[in-house]
Amino acid sequence: MNTILNKMGLPSNLVWGYLGVLVFMMGDGLEIAWLSPWLIDNGFSVQQNSLLFAVYGVTIALSSWFSGVLVESLGPKRTMWLGVLMYILGTTGFIGLGVAADLHYGMMLVFYSVRGLGYPLFAYSFLVWIAYRAPQEKLGTAVGWFWFVFTGGLNVLGAYYSTWAIQHLGHVNTLWSSIIVVVIGAILALIVNQDKLERKSKQGTQGKVKELLKGLTIVKEEPKVLLGGIVRTINTTAQFAFPVFLPTYLEDYGIPTTTWLGIWGTIFIGNILFNLLFGIIGDKLGWQNTIMWFGGVGCGITTLALYYAPQWFAGNIWVVGFIGFLWGALLAGYVPLSALVPSLVKENKGAAMSILNLGAGFPVFLGPAIVGVFIGEIGPQGVMWILAILYFVSALLTKFISVPEQKKSQVEKAVS
């Protein structure tokens, strides 16, 4: 069985960790599709919702950055347990002192931001774990499996579970149940999973502070890591921008919001399937080429197509849905970035991954911010062009992110 898993590019020593991430992210993502409209139905304004999710996005970005360097200092399991603790504290306060207390907005704001510290410390720390433990020649496939379980739990299983749970438990109890799901995921990833990677620093407090600062100084030591962080930021900026304005734009062409939700689900079906496939493709065709052409150029073209297709095809939902599927699939073209960036450094892979993880967390804030700043001046067309141009820029930047020749030859030797 272990041989089969390894041939699939799924490290057999980490398989329970992957399953734990899937379950954890299912619990974390169960309210994504319904929390905002539910709060509005209960008297919250759009502005209050925007602030709630903006603060949540900021803490996600900070936690994403700290995840890699904390792994170097504390080890992956301690860092992941810290993420579990932050999630439980944040969720308990958010529900118990916010939602259940007649929707106390101040408490909701504080504790939802604490909750935002949780999943990056858990999931992205495991991604660093993968970067150290997966074979170099299979690293692209290994991170492809990570994004497969991450997205599958966050955007698919969480939504399906909520559909059932809201009907049988109600909204508030569904939120409470997320803690149970998250704890099950933690048990699988941190107790059932017996693999060990202890990166705990032997230095004192001063040494640990220096370790944390490597999350910043690494970009001076290896500027390509910074480029990787910028490319990673561009990767999912549109993902968090689209829901803010695209449903309204599509309504003008006869595609209602309910249909848009179906299209959005189709997008992530494509993304989940190709997260794994592009990990394999990256190992075969090269990580850099895969990111440039499939990710950058492909997403740039399909972003523009998503805007113009409703006009050219009179709001045909099958055409728009197919283009959405393609965009989601090509979004997975960035998967090898999680293999490419840590391969740029011999040591301090956690610090390099911290920059990459910051790039994964920042779009939660940046995507809606781009829409908020530009939509009034240049409209949906202008915003879509901005997002498309960012993708083309990411392709250009990736051209300058290459693994040193010595490491490249080591990888080629391992593959042969």
Is pLDDT of 159 > 80? no
More confident residue, 216 or 28: 28
Are 369 and 362 contacting, i.e. CB atoms less than 8 angstroms apart? no
pLDDT at 215: 62
Average pLDDT over residues 204-233: 74
Query: By mean pLDDT, which of 195-199, 248-252, 301-305 is the weakest?
Result: 195-199
- What's the rounded Cα separation, in Å, for the pair 103 and 94? 9
- What's the rounded Cα separation, in Å, for the pair 44 and 188? 37
Is pLDDT of 24 > 80? yes
pLDDT at 108: 93
Counting Cα atoms < 13 Å in the Cβ hemisphere of 100 gives: 14
Strand residue runs (E) in 211-355: none
Tens digits of residue pLDDT in 25-68: 999 988 876 787 788 788 887 677 777 877 888 899 889 888 87
Any idea what the Cα angle at residue 266 is, between residues 262 and 269, rounded to 5°?
A: 140
DSSP state of 34: T
Direct distance between the N- and C-terminal alpha carbons of the chain, in angstroms, rounded to an integer: 23
Note the pTM of the prediction, 2 decimals.
Answer: 0.77
363-398 vs 46-74: helix axis angle to the nearest 10? 60
- Total count of residues recorded for the chain: 416
Tens digits of residue pLDDT in 93-109: 999 999 988 889 999 99
- pLDDT band at 382; cut points 50, 70, 90: very high
Choose from 122-126, 139-143, 256-260, 276-280 the range with maximum mean pLDDT: 122-126
Tens digits of residue pLDDT in 260-287: 777 887 888 889 889 888 988 988 889 9
Q: Tell me the C-alpha to C-alpha distance, in Å, between residue 315 and each of 307, 329, 375.
A: 11, 21, 21
Is pLDDT of 367 > 70? yes
